Structure 1
Amino acid sequence: MNYETIKTKLAHLSDDDASTIAVLLAINTIVNRSHSGWEGRDLVIRALDKFHLFDKVEQSLLLNMVRAVGLFPYITPHLSNMALSDRLAYEAHRVEGVEQGMVFHHLQAHVFSLIMQGRNVVLSASTSVGKSLVIDAVLAKRWFKKVVVIVPTIALIDETRRRLVRRFKDFNLITHPTQEAVADTTNVYLLTQERVIQRPDLADVEFFVLDEFYKIDLANDSEESSRAVDLSLAFHKLAKTGAQFYMLGPHIQRINGLDGYEYHFIPSDYSTVAVDIQNFGLGMRSEERKEKLLELVKTLESPTLIYCQAPPSANRVAEYLIEEAGLSPIPETQEIAAWISKHYHPEWNVAKAISLGIGIHHGGVPRALQQYIVKLFNEGVIKRIICTSTMIEGVNTSAENVIIYDRRLNKSTFDYFTYKNISGRAGRMNKYFIGKVFMLEAPPLEEGLTVEYPIGLQDEKSPMGLLMQLENEYLTDMSRGRLQEAYANPVLSPTTLIENRHIPIDRQVEVAETIIRDLPRSYGLLGWKGIPEQATQFNYLCELVYSLVGGNLMDYGISSSSQLAWHINELRTQKNLPAYLKQAVDKRQGEETASEAINLRLKFIRNMVCFRLPRDIMAINKIQADVLAKRGYEPGDFSFFAEQLENLFLDPLLTALDEYGIPTQISTQIKHLILPSDNLNDLLAKLRALAPRLEHLRLTGFEKGVMRWAVAEM
């Protein structure tokens, strides 16, 4: 029997089937072929899904094949049935110092061994492989006292932190810029690439991990986001010190540009789950696609992710399911639904959907809510999450099914790599042996992915923001020439250009020339420190910001500097998020739904107010300081205002708790009990001390539940 025949027979095995031994013997034949590793492993996993249908002798044979393909974690529940040789092999793969009963599969053991030999490793393998267990096993050895783990999102920082808190109570975990290393213990920095670049205390890191390393390629970036540039610089900052590294990501065939480093590249098709894919080939705007989605939602009873291209698509899918799926409210989520309605808006689909047992996870959903929705999903309280790439890129879930509703990523058709990455979210080791993927449109053509490290592959298109941060010995002659030309600009100093590397040079020069042209009036409008006291000062700052990044603001419906000033003033003076969102709903135009208006405002807060705008204000701060000082004026200082904006004009320590799963709406209610605090660690200690008294606080049941969950893993 060939692979497809056996796969079909396994799918149809039943209690009274007499062909079980024949099927197992056929699988054994494929397992023993040297050239068909993935087929044998896949069939063994599918047979494990039917384990209860085999008798004891057949189960023993199957467990022998499990050992042969290296899937030792699947043996753990069946230790009593194992032969001595299988038991010895199992013990050799046991993970020390993490959790009792944890064992490596073959690939994990191989990677761990290489790292313990002092080798740099670049691993490309599917999501289900369990690449993070290798990280924890390395940490458990306690060989390295200073470790950095670079992850692409705040959500992944939180997920990794929670895992490490459970396993390593004595480690000092650093996730926030205000936290510092502690002597005589293991310090593990869990950071995004931006935070790695900002920290001045990483020169003596011994080992670092770069998760989702494919994001280092500039093809995954844009001029406006520059996250690939930041990731490249973060890697460079740590690797140039000689620190050992472990890079991991899915489905990459080659990596170019790392010639300056010795490393062991492992492109692997190893998987711990089998995946069945159904391609329906339905039209993008066809009614059939919506009908098929509805049919699947009604028939799939196990945990399901529904992938959509972007928040507007997720919103439309949520609206459709809310109205058409015939779902009943579930008792367990009524309190969180009411809380979301009160603190955001009752027309927001996130509140309506969670009431019916559907989570929504995209860039417009605040982080603490995202984290809690994933918690409810992994605990089985809700069975469905409508998500975008924010969840596909690294957040671990226990989903058996993935429905790919859109064949797009943001504004373009996604490629085979993204398709495989999304599909890799189906199935879970030791829980769902066979993941199920339902591709509603036609799948993309199969193709390999090569990742390019831009620092090692400099050319005439290399971003200036990347080159300006590199030491001379890492620059090519061409790059040195380009920098020399850029620094010849007479208006701004090289120091200012380097510090503002996220902003194109021509835009910086335009702002500088505007300030010079407006002198001496511009000095009166820019010479303030702390908070702008006059409306004219604030409005002038908004004019400069808009001239710097106005194109980005158009994406949020902001088409002038006066509109930008209105939004910031609303957030600064009112500090009333429900009212701010209600205004968006009341003033929406055309066919925009209430949820779309809310999502846009929340995305503006997250992407612009809490990230881009403070960075841009600091860029203008450096430009005006450069321009005014050269002309004998005392510069202003906008750093306090930028920090206030970044934290929505709340105490920065309270907004930091959002990353720990506590929404600011809750932390502000208890701030009198935890503030003032010297730093984030001091604040976290006060929260832990507060935990026994939670029941006596004037919080709702849901709010107390959030606090208990968050504090338990701090």
Structure 2
Amino acid sequence: MAGSNGLTVPVVREMLTHGQPEGHQFEILKLISQLTHETGQSASARELLLRILDRPAQFSRYTELIDSLLRTAGLFPYATPDNLSLPDLIAYEAHRPLDYDNDDVVFHEVQAKVYGRLMSNENVILSAPTSFGKSLVLDALIASGKFSNVAVVLPTIALIDETRKRLSRFRGQYRIITHPTQPLGERNLLVMTQERILDLPDLPQLDLFMIDEFYKLDISRGEPDRGVLLNQALQRLMRTGATFYLAGPNIHALASSLPQDFVASFVSTSFATVVSDVKLMPTPPKGGELEALSSLCAQLDGPTLIYCQSPARARVVARSLMAAGVGEYSPELQEAADWIGENYHPEWLLCKSIPQGIGIHHGKIPRALSQYQVGAFNAGHLKFLVCTSTLIEGVNTSAKNVVVFDHKLNRKNLDFFTFSNIKGRSGRMMRHFVGNVYLFRAPPQEDLPTVDVPLYSQGPQVPDSLLIQVDDPALLPRSRERIEKYRSQTDVPLEVLKKNSGLDPQSQIALAKYVRRNLSRLADNLAWSGWPEYEKLQACCELIVNFLHPVRGRMHGVSSARQLALRMNVARGAQGDVHELILRELANPIETPEPDDAVENVLDFLRYWPGFTFPRLLMALESIVSPILQEGGYEECDYSAYASSAKGYFLPRFVAEVEDYGLPIQLAMKILRGRSYNAETMDDLLGRLERAREGDMNDFETGLYRTFVEFL
């Protein structure tokens, strides 16, 4: 479309991008006005307005006209109410959420529509860009006071902490619960991953639940095991009859297989509150990619995310940037680096990169350090954050620039969906109106996915581990036929198969048959309680790896059952002392020649095996083995004490979980002054830590501790 003066959207975009609108300001605004009234042109109008907001000085004579256009385009949060006419002001005020205690909060057009539907108890499935402001809708719903019990299901523990901090403003009205052991209050906000929702002994009578990044229900995308658990969590939440709000980015449509009683409005919108400029860099010569990246970063202005495909690649990139002199030394970050070196290893790359303004964020970094780096990045202390997909999925950052250095994820080329998520991290509402995305390869072809919900579709690709969890009335005839073999068999009771969420029922049955056939040989090493001797631990590891969780290649530091038992035993001996475990890892120079490898191997093992996977598998093993032992005349087994201790890295109870709150384990142990304190509940431990004195903490520790206490 061209304005009456011949200006077109591409021409105006070019003018605004290069800061050359002089002499054409009024004509540009006139074109935008025309766009707001043309069908299908509203996105172009919003884009040009956002570009103008990025260069306000050049349009200072037209502030009232710009505010009127912002209102017409639905960008109410950016409008200045003092500049609005009475009709525009009425529309502006109509976009304020009810009973919100922040007078500065105003919805944009589509936010208001979604909010209104949910307030009317209408279910909503929202597909919207990263900058849409999906969380603000949730906050406003909570602020209304209409919903007494609310559950928020998040894909990562990092998002639990971010959301908990954001919702801490409602502590006076709600009890905020993030851990399954915390007791319910009269009014509750449950902020949890799907695993924790399933671990809750009882759900309150929910009025509202939200699932963030709901596309993860589709087990064909991402992590299928966690997708199965998310479907189970959805089923548990749906049983409550609560209003639901499913939110995620860049979805084309929902699968047609959803049942008729799954009633919801599907809102798919491209409404964005920032603009992302995509810039394709010249193809560097072979072997010159890192040099080209360093050259680009040296020229960038503003906080910058650099996407890499793996932790190993992130290290290569960070090291290359440092060698090229990118970044600037920051004395205020040196104390953080010194603390990291003392508590992990002084040669770990993170200790060296942080003082130069270069952070590293991936799944092997301890959660408290990841949260610290995101905070330092958003505060402007870290200019660069080299990251993997762990930062792309939902954690809010204030990045002006995103550099997509690698175009792969899990060894596959980025699809358009994932690329769009990464791209959406550029820009920040009210802070960076225009973000920049730099690519070293052409972007993938546009192809947004259709999301399947296997809980309802029950297609041939849906695993039996999910089908056996589906409520009987919701089972399709073909699904009922598939799982009949589990109902009719007697090797493992159906309730045990279902209790072991996410585990293949056929593998559980095969395990039970094997133990029965070899009971006389296995019984002595399986019939234990409390703390196992090494050969008993190894016997359990053999069954876990051979039946419940096959290890293919090297999986998070483990390549065999024998190695799993050995590493678990070493972790128990270290009693949570990560520094000691790193030194032991380095003592084997053939396997772990570099400090970076030693640190990240230890952290990766702890998080995946004792911290999550092993305790669940061990308790599943107990549920299968214990009845067989009793049948054979042996004592029953009880692995719960060991499993619980392993999950906490063999530290005092619940101490490992304070990492989720942004407090490093080492600092928590320092505050507790040793291993003698064992909390009865998570709340007891949090209360003990909250009452601590800061006297023997350095400035870095004090900063972490005060942030921890502020949001409890």
Structure 1 match to 2:584:
583
Distance change (3 Å), C-alpha of 1:240 and 1:506: closer
Structure 2 match to 1:165:
168
Structure 2 match to 1:661:
662
AA of the residue aligned to 1:574:
A
Structure 2 match to 1:330:
330
Moved over 6 A (4+): none
Structure 2 match to 1:703:
701
Given that 1:662 and 1:706 are in contact with CA atoms closer than 8 Å, whether structure 2 keeps it comes out as: yes
AA of the residue aligned to 1:199:
L
Structure 1 match to 2:686:
684
Superposed counterparts of 1:21-100, under 5 Å: 21-56=26-61, 58-75=62-79, 78-95=80-97, 96-100=99-103
Give, in angstroms, the shift of residue 190 of structure 1.
0.3
| SS in structure 2 at match of 1:554 | coil
- From 175, 180, 183, the counterpart of 1:177: 180
Given that 2:229 and 2:501 are in contact with CA atoms closer than 8 Å, whether structure 1 keeps it comes out as: no
Superposed counterparts of 1:212-291, under 5 Å: 212-222=213-223, 226-256=225-255, 257-259=257-259, 260-280=261-281, 282=283, 286-291=286-291
- From 23, 26, 45, the counterpart of 1:18: 23
AA of the residue aligned to 1:103:
V
Aligned partners of 1:275 and 1:653: how far apart in 2? Answer: 42
Superposed counterparts of 1:117-516, under 5 Å: 117-183=120-186, 186-202=187-203, 204-222=205-223, 226-256=225-255, 257-259=257-259, 260-280=261-281, 282=283, 286-516=286-516
Aligned partners of 1:358 and 1:593: how far apart in 2? Answer: 20
**TM-score after normalising by structure 1:** 0.94
**RMSD of aligned alpha carbons:** 2.1
Given that 1:150 and 1:211 are in contact with CA atoms closer than 8 Å, whether structure 2 keeps it comes out as: yes
**TM-score after normalising by structure 2:** 0.94
Aligned partners of 2:613 and 2:302: how far apart in 1? Answer: 39
Aligned partners of 1:566 and 1:708: how far apart in 2? Answer: 38
Given that 1:6 and 1:27 are in contact with CA atoms closer than 8 Å, whether structure 2 keeps it comes out as: no
Q: Which whole-Å deviations, capped at 9, do the CAs of 1:246-286 have from their partners, x for residues lacking one?
A: 11000101012433311110000000011100123737x93
Given that 1:357 and 1:382 are in contact with CA atoms closer than 8 Å, whether structure 2 keeps it comes out as: yes
Distance change (3 Å), C-alpha of 1:303 and 1:642: same
Q: Which whole-Å deviations, capped at 9, do the CAs of 1:478-531 have from their partners, x for residues lacking one?
A: 111111123444533323322224222343244334433433232221111111
Given that 2:458 and 2:476 are in contact with CA atoms closer than 8 Å, whether structure 1 keeps it comes out as: yes
Q: Which whole-Å deviations, capped at 9, do the CAs of 1:357-414 have from their partners, x for residues lacking one?
A: 1111110001111111111111111111111111100000111110011111122112
How many pairs does the alignment contain? Answer: 700
| SS in structure 2 at match of 1:218 | coil
- From 108, 116, 129, the counterpart of 2:111: 108
Structure 1 match to 2:4:
none
Given that 1:539 and 1:561 are in contact with CA atoms closer than 8 Å, whether structure 2 keeps it comes out as: yes
Given that 1:588 and 1:594 are in contact with CA atoms closer than 8 Å, whether structure 2 keeps it comes out as: no
Given that 2:327 and 2:383 are in contact with CA atoms closer than 8 Å, whether structure 1 keeps it comes out as: no
Superposed counterparts of 1:589-628, under 5 Å: 589=590, 593-628=594-629
Aligned partners of 2:169 and 2:206: how far apart in 1? Answer: 23
Aligned partners of 1:505 and 1:713: how far apart in 2? Answer: 42
AA of the residue aligned to 2:627:
D
Given that 1:6 and 1:26 are in contact with CA atoms closer than 8 Å, whether structure 2 keeps it comes out as: no
Structure 2 match to 1:540:
539
Q: Which whole-Å deviations, capped at 9, do the CAs of 1:118-168 have from their partners, x for residues lacking one?
A: 100011001111111110111111111111000001011100110111355
Given that 1:315 and 1:596 are in contact with CA atoms closer than 8 Å, whether structure 2 keeps it comes out as: no
Aligned partners of 2:212 and 2:705: how far apart in 1? Answer: 29
Aligned partners of 1:587 and 1:401: how far apart in 2? Answer: 41
Distance change (3 Å), C-alpha of 1:406 and 1:611: same
Unpaired runs of 5+ residues, structure 2, are: 1-6
Distance change (3 Å), C-alpha of 1:70 and 1:588: farther
| SS in structure 2 at match of 1:247 | strand
| SS in structure 1 at match of 2:436 | strand
| SS in structure 2 at match of 1:272 | coil
| SS in structure 2 at match of 1:437 | strand
Given that 2:530 and 2:640 are in contact with CA atoms closer than 8 Å, whether structure 1 keeps it comes out as: yes
Aligned partners of 2:534 and 2:23: how far apart in 1? Answer: 84
Aligned partners of 1:461 and 1:485: how far apart in 2? Answer: 18
Aligned partners of 1:129 and 1:171: how far apart in 2? Answer: 26
Given that 1:491 and 1:627 are in contact with CA atoms closer than 8 Å, whether structure 2 keeps it comes out as: no
Which one is further off, 35-44 or 504-513? 504-513
Give, in angstroms, the shift of residue 328 of structure 1.
4.2
Which one is further off, 399-408 or 665-674? 665-674
| SS in structure 2 at match of 1:652 | coil
Aligned partners of 2:534 and 2:686: how far apart in 1? Answer: 38
Which one is further off, 326-335 or 390-399? 326-335
AA of the residue aligned to 1:196:
I
Aligned partners of 2:439 and 2:310: how far apart in 1? Answer: 17
Given that 1:216 and 1:231 are in contact with CA atoms closer than 8 Å, whether structure 2 keeps it comes out as: yes
Give, in angstroms, the shift of residue 67 of structure 1.
0.5
Aligned partners of 2:652 and 2:173: how far apart in 1? Answer: 28
Unpaired runs of 5+ residues, structure 1, are: none
Give, in angstroms, the shift of residue 456 of structure 1.
1.4
Structure 2 match to 1:528:
528
Aligned partners of 1:602 and 1:590: how far apart in 2? Answer: 16
Give, in angstroms, the shift of residue 173 of structure 1.
0.2
| SS in structure 2 at match of 1:551 | coil
Q: Which whole-Å deviations, capped at 9, do the CAs of 1:36-87 have from their partners, x for residues lacking one?
A: 111111111111112221243x221111111111111111xx3333333322
Distance change (3 Å), C-alpha of 1:556 and 1:267: same
Give, in angstroms, the shift of residue 230 of structure 1.
0.8
Which one is further off, 251-260 or 186-195? 251-260
Given that 2:551 and 2:560 are in contact with CA atoms closer than 8 Å, whether structure 1 keeps it comes out as: no
Given that 2:306 and 2:402 are in contact with CA atoms closer than 8 Å, whether structure 1 keeps it comes out as: yes
Aligned partners of 1:81 and 1:206: how far apart in 2? Answer: 39
Given that 2:672 and 2:689 are in contact with CA atoms closer than 8 Å, whether structure 1 keeps it comes out as: no
Given that 2:150 and 2:190 are in contact with CA atoms closer than 8 Å, whether structure 1 keeps it comes out as: yes
Aligned partners of 2:141 and 2:19: how far apart in 1? Answer: 41
Given that 1:31 and 1:68 are in contact with CA atoms closer than 8 Å, whether structure 2 keeps it comes out as: yes
AA of the residue aligned to 1:538:
L
Aligned partners of 2:239 and 2:621: how far apart in 1? Answer: 31
Given that 2:653 and 2:679 are in contact with CA atoms closer than 8 Å, whether structure 1 keeps it comes out as: no
Structure 2 match to 1:5:
11
Aligned partners of 1:151 and 1:493: how far apart in 2? Answer: 32
Aligned partners of 2:136 and 2:522: how far apart in 1? Answer: 56
| SS in structure 1 at match of 2:642 | helix
Distance change (3 Å), C-alpha of 1:505 and 1:261: closer
Given that 1:492 and 1:627 are in contact with CA atoms closer than 8 Å, whether structure 2 keeps it comes out as: no
Given that 1:550 and 1:559 are in contact with CA atoms closer than 8 Å, whether structure 2 keeps it comes out as: no
| SS in structure 1 at match of 2:655 | helix
